[in-house]
Amino acid sequence: MKSLRLLLGLFAVVVLGACVARGQVDSARLGNADVEPGQWMSYGRGWDEQRFSPLDLINDRNVAGLGLAWYADLDTYRGIQSTPLVVDGVLYNVSVWNVVTAYDARSGRVLWRFDPKVASQWARLACCGPSARGIALWQGRVYIGALDGRLIAVDARNGKQVWSVQTFDRSWAYSITGAPRVFDGKVVIGNGGADYGVRGYVTAYDALTGKQLWRFFTVPGDPSKGPDGAASDSVMPIAAKTWTGEWWKYGGGGTVWDSIVYDPQLKLVYLGTGNGAPHAQHFRSPGGGDNLFLCSIVAVDAETGVYRWHYQMVPDEQWDFTCTQPMVLADLNIQGRKRQVLMQAPKNGFFYVLDRATGELISAKTYVPNLWATEIDLKTGRPKVNPGAYLTETPELMTPNWMAAHSWNPMSYSPKTGLVYFPAQEQWNVQARVADTDFKWVPFRSNTGISYTSQPERRKALQVIADSREKGYLLAWDPVNQREAFRVPYPYPGSGGVLTTAGNLLVQGTINRTLAIYGADDGRKLWEMPTQSVPIAGPMTYTVEGVQYIAVNVGWGGSPVHGLAVEPTPVRFGPGRLMVFRLGAGVALPPMPPPSDVPPPPPLRATEAQVRQGQKLYGETCSRCHGENAIGGLKDLRFMARETRAEFNAIVLDGIRKDKGMIGFRDLLSEDDAAAINAYLVARANEDWQDYIARQVTH
Ligand code: HEC
């Protein structure tokens, strides 16, 4: 009898085990992520998003034996931002254009692929390519927030679509790049678009059916239209008191384009909100005001979406500062008290520790040189903003800037070391707003109210200083004492997200085109391997059948950095790839494609007026993706192949490179406009060519 029961039990395990649908994540599993450290079930691993793994099979004593186990090409050269998920031996990954692939996590064998067929014009609305930061898993389904606004549920067994809902009105310039988050049967998604002009919000849907459950707007709408009939209605009158003018015509901004974190103990969802639209407050809310809830953390009730508390990091937002950066939850011992905290290192360069039950500011300290604010008043929670930091029509030096002291690249908190790790950047720029007569709001164009051309001589002198001060490093930060523990310096900004493990590993993709592993306790380098491109995404780790793997997506270009301009151009990158490592493996990557020849720029034949006009148009339409002053960015346009120059108008107006994320601008630009931009780029190339040749010789 006993043996029969045993046999039946065994039978149940084997048969049920075989029948269990794939991707069966639920509250019990995700809420106890440490019980199954071999899985990586959610964007930041657990709901706390610490990106610390209890796995220690790979550790500081044996990591020297780490090698490439398998890799998969991702069909792109850039903008790979996503963290893969692994559940029960299957690795789910999302590449550009929201194409999701399920792999056998041990071998890399493709199990299925789902392509939501996002139309290429959507790339124009994403600053950094048609990127996606992640997907979510829940009860046998994979959730995709597509660039074009669809939230799609597909079957985790076979990649077949189950349902799809449109999450935004396509007549506004919204897009989705952030990972959906799931808890208690609800899938939550935000959106981006504040640089173009939209009103931010977050929506919760029923994970089973796709039915909308609640929506929270982060900024007030048109007051003449009355309440939205949304969860945010209870707090919008309070927010509206902090605005002036007719902001709703420009959207207002506050988009939640990345971090959304769920707290299962307090049953709260934390939303990190973005910048104002337009950037210059002078045009958005001309009478000033805090402009709630721009650049804030807003806590809402997980069940209903109703407002609970907020903390605004950047009142008067006008620097394109966003507070959408990763939020990490932890319990910290602060001055003898155990506190439930939320930690964030947003674009403005301050590291914040908040009490996540109440929103009270516990501490804040800048982690980079900071011209924006000297300190944060702990009594009022308000920054002491440097009076010279406010935007005027006069170009001034600024740091941190819109390119961020730290952007979306995931950060990690190790409970073992008590430290938080993230890629910090010192990026400087020259900031000014356009003259009142020059501000024009054009739908579906980048609408910032920022000037790129005024007082050219002054700008040029300041830009030299700005360029000379760029720095990037991996920062290990002590959040209790708000001070640096150690740093690993890099030649320039732009390194990737971070993972820590119980094996004392600190894993990061570097701007040197490598994956590097350091000791989490002291930052000494333990291992490094060339990856041909920069792994800017968050690395992750998992086990299958008792073997630990480390996986990372490789593919540079997911957030604006201009520092690479100091390298001999053109900067070379290998293709975007998912790379998976384990001890004792030794797969080799194919060799890098040969360098393309960069011919000298053609002589400048345009008039000065044409170049000036081109510079203005470039600033308005191109600089967000291709870099201020045509330096760096996604693709450095000072240096182009002959064929590219020959096809310039077809690329810029007709979008013949749209599959690579370069969409045509015929709706905004004429042939003359394109010719003027080309003239400006030829002028810039000639200005910098001698310098380029000189650097080629010395390298
Ligand atoms: C939303 C981002 C975005 C904007 C805005 C944008 N581009 Fe691009 N552009 C791209 C991407 C992505 C590529 C493809 C890079 C690659 O080949 O991998 C590209 C490629 C190009 C290329 C080909 C460069 C080469 O050497 O292969 C040209 C030329 C170009 N862009 C011109 C422009 C001009 C001019 C503007 C402004 C009118 C502009 N772009 C605005 C994203 C953008």
* pLDDT tens digits for range 25-44: 999 999 999 999 999 999 99
Model pLDDT, residue 697: 45
Model pLDDT, residue 566: 57
Contact 537/509 with Cβ under 8 angstroms? yes
CA of 233 to the centre of ligand 1 (A): 41
CA dist 682 and 661 (Å) reads 23
**How is residue 232 written in tokens?**
């945010």
Contact 84/40 with Cβ under 8 angstroms? yes
Q: Which atom of ligand 1 approaches the CA of 640 most closely?
A: 26
CA dist 635 and 77 (Å) reads 11
Is 684 close to ligand 1, i.e. is its CB under 6 Å away? no
Amino acid at the residue 49:
E
Of 626, 640, 642, the one to substitute when testing ligand 1's pocket (max ligand atoms within 8 A of C-beta) is 626
Residue bearing the CA closest to ligand 1, atom 29: 648
Is 626 close to ligand 1, i.e. is its CB under 6 Å away? yes
Residue bearing the CA closest to ligand 1, atom 37: 622
Contact 105/90 with Cβ under 8 angstroms? yes
CA dist 629 and 366 (Å) reads 28
CA of 113 to the centre of ligand 1 (A): 28
CA dist 206 and 212 (Å) reads 6
What mean pLDDT is predicted for residues 249-261? Answer: 97
Give φ, ψ of 289 to 5 degrees.
Answer: 105, 155
Q: What is the torsion angle, in degrees rounded to the nearest 10, for the CA atoms of residue 620, residue 248, residue 305 and residue 327?
A: 30
Is 196 close to ligand 1, i.e. is its CB under 6 Å away? no
Residue bearing the CA closest to ligand 1, atom 13: 662
What Å distances lie between residue 259 and 124, 181, 394, 599, 690, CA to CA?
A: 22, 9, 34, 43, 43
Question: How many Cα atoms occupy the beta-carbon half-sphere of 506 within 13 Å?
Answer: 30
CA dist 11 and 614 (Å) reads 73
CA of 139 to the centre of ligand 1 (A): 40
Segment 164-172 long-range contacts (CB within 8 Å, at least 24 positions apart): 164/210, 165/205, 165/210, 165/212, 167/191, 167/203, 168/198, 172/197, 172/198, 172/199, 172/251
Is 661 close to ligand 1, i.e. is its CB under 6 Å away? yes
Residue 18 has pLDDT above 70, yes or no: no
Is 432 close to ligand 1, i.e. is its CB under 6 Å away? no
Reported confidence tier of residue 76, pLDDT bands at 50, 70, 90: confident
Residue 8 has pLDDT above 50, yes or no: no
Contact 648/675 with Cβ under 8 angstroms? no
Residue 2 has pLDDT above 90, yes or no: no
Reported confidence tier of residue 613, pLDDT bands at 50, 70, 90: very high
CA of 627 to the centre of ligand 1 (A): 10
Is 376 close to ligand 1, i.e. is its CB under 6 Å away? no
What mean pLDDT is predicted for residues 669-686? Answer: 95
Reported confidence tier of residue 135, pLDDT bands at 50, 70, 90: very high
Reported confidence tier of residue 569, pLDDT bands at 50, 70, 90: low
Q: Calculate the average pLDDT of the chain.
A: 92
CA dist 500 and 481 (Å) reads 20
**How is residue 550 written in tokens?**
């480390």
Residue bearing the CA closest to ligand 1, atom 26: 640
Is 197 close to ligand 1, i.e. is its CB under 6 Å away? no
CA dist 337 and 498 (Å) reads 28
CA of 349 to the centre of ligand 1 (A): 29
- Distance separating the N- and C-terminal Cα atoms of the chain: 79
Residue 5 has pLDDT above 80, yes or no: no
Residue bearing the CA closest to ligand 1, atom 32: 652
Residue 380 has pLDDT above 70, yes or no: yes
Contact 645/602 with Cβ under 8 angstroms? yes
Question: How many Cα atoms occupy the beta-carbon half-sphere of 682 within 13 Å?
Answer: 21
CA dist 614 and 603 (Å) reads 16
Model pLDDT, residue 558: 76
The percentage of the chain sitting over the pLDDT mark of 70, rounded to a whole number, equals: 94
> How buried is 20 (Cβ within 10 angstroms: 0-12 exposed, 13-18 middle, 19+ buried)?
exposed
What mean pLDDT is predicted for residues 97-113? Answer: 98
Model pLDDT, residue 611: 95
CA dist 535 and 494 (Å) reads 10
The percentage of the chain sitting over the pLDDT mark of 90, rounded to a whole number, equals: 82
Is 150 close to ligand 1, i.e. is its CB under 6 Å away? no
Q: Tell me if the bond preceding 278 is cis, omega within 30° of 0.
A: yes
Count of C-beta atoms within a 10 Å radius of residue 546:
7
